[in-house]
Structure 1
Amino acid sequence: MNRLLLCLPLLLLLASCYNQERDCTTFKTGKFKFEYDIDGEKKVTYFERNDSIEIETFEGKVDTSSVRWINDCEYVLKKIHPKNMQEEKAVHMKILTTQDDSYTFEFSIVGDTNKQKGTVTKIN
């Protein structure tokens, strides 16, 4: 029992040092797919991103947003031609984890504390 108590601080220290690797630069440009459910119905958004522009296609509609990178894993999207007040609001995107051809991210309206998560797959 004493050995376990002595090892506990070491285990906590090692666990706190674990930091998952992220290779966000791989996902700065390319063609991507984002799948999600809305009211039990599967939806798919496709988008292509270069360093400063993202072109999104959803249900046959195309939108273009400017991309401003904050660092290698965070950027802000802002619609170039918003159609309403909601679309005028910028969206903060943060890549949390990366894998070979996908990444998990969280996003929110800039200034809003309500965050949502999703996973994107690189398709090229």
Structure 2
Amino acid sequence: MRVLFLLALLSLSSCYQVERNCTDYKTGSFYSEVTIDDVVYTSDFTRTNDLQVEVYNGKKDSAQVRWINDCEMIFKTINPKSMAERKDVHLKILTTTDSTYTFEYSYVGEKIKQKGIAYKR
């Protein structure tokens, strides 16, 4: 009886898969929201296959984009002005919908990750 129950449970749980159509978000115009310590930070950005231009707090920043696979990329700031900007950022798309994607990001090599959501414009 237990075996039947476990098989039924396994078959139901295997039907649910997280949607990840990451290629839909490789290029385009977006805005994102990241919440850190109950504060929401927003930015606007436009991405091509190898460049992302972002506006945050009225400041424009550009980064080279290198795709690791369809759902993960590395950002390298062009013309960094501080030590923090010299660090590359790893971003992974976790889930997608028809107009958003949820992502996590961190500096390359660091374990602390932040999560956010990006909206297609």
The 1:46/1:111 distance shift into structure 2, 3 A limit, reads same
TM-score under structure 2 length normalisation: 0.89
The 1:42/1:88 distance shift into structure 2, 3 A limit, reads same
Identical amino acids, percent of aligned pairs: 48
Number of the residue aligned with 2:104: 106
Which deviates more, 19-28 or 93-102? 19-28
- What is the RMSD computed on CA atoms of the aligned residues? 1.7
TM-score under structure 1 length normalisation: 0.87
Does residue 83 of the first structure (1) align with residue 66 of the second (2)? no
For residues 31-80 of structure 1, what are the alpha-carbon distances to aligned partners after superposition, in whole Å with 9 as ceiling and x for unaligned?
00012345554432000000000000011100000000011110000101
How many equivalent residue pairs? 120
Does the 8 Å contact 2:35/2:116 carry over to 1? no
Number of the residue aligned with 1:34: 32
Does the 8 Å contact 2:30/2:46 carry over to 1? yes
For 2:78 and 2:20, the matched residues in 1 are separated by 29
The 1:23/1:83 distance shift into structure 2, 3 A limit, reads same
Unaligned runs of 5+ in 1: none
Unaligned runs of 5+ in 2: none
